[in-house]
């Protein structure tokens, strides 16, 4: 399957990309996150000890959300207001 991955705010800055395509056999958002983490380097900003929010096709989800071919998955830090 092919996914469009989007990164926002500090995650975009850490990874150095606003979006990328990922070819994967993942079936959940959590598995996509695992594949990105396995790349190491800049992707370590997605570690589970850090608070990272996820969206699937522009809807907030948890890691168990099922993905389909051509899904859009977004990662971003928690939003704070002020």
Question: What does the pLDDT look like over 64-77, one tens digit per residue?
Answer: 999 999 999 999 99
In the chain, where the domains are located = 2-76
pTM, entire model: 0.92
Q: Longest C-alpha distance within the chain, in Å?
A: 40
Asked whether the beta carbons of 18 and 7 are under 8 A apart, the reply is yes
Top CATH class, 2-76 = alpha beta
Q: Are strands 2-7 and 72-76 parallel, antiparallel or unpaired?
A: parallel
From CA 35, how far away is CA 54, in angstroms rounded?
Answer: 15
Instruction: Give the model confidence (pLDDT) of 10-42 as tens digits.
Output: 999 999 999 999 999 999 999 999 999 999 999
pLDDT recorded at residue 79? 73
């Amino acid at each position: 399957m092919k996914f469009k991955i989007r990164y926002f705010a500090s995650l975009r800055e850490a990874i150095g990309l606003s979006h990328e395509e990922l070819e994967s056999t993942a079936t959940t958002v959590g598995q996509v996150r695992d594949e990105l983490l396995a790349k190491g380097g800049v992707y370590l900003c997605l570690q589970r000890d850090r608070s990272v929010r996820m969206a699937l096709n522009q809807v907030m989800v948890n890691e168990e959300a099922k993905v389909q071919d051509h899904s859009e998955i977004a990662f971003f830090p928690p939003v704070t207001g002020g």
